[in-house]
Amino acid sequence: MPKVQFLSHSSFLVETDSKTLLIDPFFTGNPKAQVKPGDIKPDYLLLTHGHGDHLGDGLKIAKDSGATVIAPNELAVYCANQGCNVHPMHLGGAHDFDFGRVKLTIAHHGSAIESGDGGWIYTGNPCGFLITSEGKTLYHAGDTGLFMDMKLIGELDAIDLALLPIGDNFTMGVDDAIKAVEFLKPKQVVPMHYDTFDLIAADPKKFADGAGKQGAKVTILGIGDTLEY
Ligand code: NI
Ligand code: MN
């Protein structure tokens, strides 16, 4: 069975029977991170969007490890221009990799990189990921508000584990994330993107209560915790 390790915020390490996938590696400047960029050498690096708390240490990790970056096209091309190996994809597209299948889903959010001089480098649309490996499907929603097409995602794919933001302000809050569970119908769900900063403080137990009533098994992962799915 594949497993996920929660590395804080929206970052997860996914271990399949053959490969290691790292999602949204935000460690430097993350007050909750317990790992450093050099600690992880993934085979693939999946990036949902260009914001600093998702792209994070991605360029360094990809270059140091040689990992292949899987991201929406504009963000992937940006990473390629910075010297990373990339596999560009885009919304609605799926591809079979050597560890399994990845499909990009919509996410209602932004995607730009702060250029450091007060400007922005736009990197297209943000995404979520459906990752199917060893017959199990993981959905990482990325940063997003609630959207009706989550019903379609749940209809097309039987989701074994959904990773959903609950921190509000920049993404869904608890109540909308509970509605997302109703739409997606995942077997298991884990909340993410909360409590990293005061601005996204949220009560995961309130989410667990509501999501549990939708029939999902809810696990609140502590930082560093691992879950099989
Ligand atoms: Ni964001
Ligand atoms: Mn974010």
Q: Residues with Cβ < 8 Å from 186, sequence gap 6 or more?
A: 139, 154, 159, 160, 161, 162, 216
Cβ–Cβ < 8 Å for 64, 39: no
The H or E element spanning position 80 is helix 73-81
Task: Report the C-alpha gap between 112 and 159 in whole angstroms.
Answer: 29
What is the C-alpha to C-alpha distance for residues 50 and 53, in angstroms, rounded to an integer? 8
Beta strands in 115-207 (DSSP E): 120-122, 127-133, 136-140, 161-165, 188-192
Determine the pLDDT at residue 225: 98
What integer best gives the mean pLDDT of the chain? 98
Q: Which ligand is nearest to the CA of 196?
A: 2
Domains located in the chain, CATH noted? 3-224 (3.60.15.10)
The bridge status of strand 101-106 relative to strand 127-133 is antiparallel
For 85, the token pair is 């190996």
Cα of 213 from ligand 1 centre, angstroms: 28
User: In the prediction, which pLDDT does 116 show?
Assistant: 87
Enter the pTM of the model: 0.98
* pLDDT mean over 64-90: 98
CB 195 within 8 A of CB 171: no
- Ligand 1 centroid – CA 172 distance (Å): 12
- Residue 46 has a pLDDT of 99
Environment of ion ligand 1 (residues, CB < 5 A): 51, 143
Q: In the prediction, which pLDDT does 21 show?
A: 98
Give mean pLDDT, residues 66-94.
98
Nearest to 72 by CA among 97, 54, 58, 89: 89
- Both tokens of 106, joined, read 């919509």
Percent of the residues in the chain that have a pLDDT greater than 70, as a whole number: 100
**CA distance linking residue 124 with residue 132, whole number of Å:** 24
Q: How far is the CA of 81 from the centre of ligand 1 (A)?
A: 22
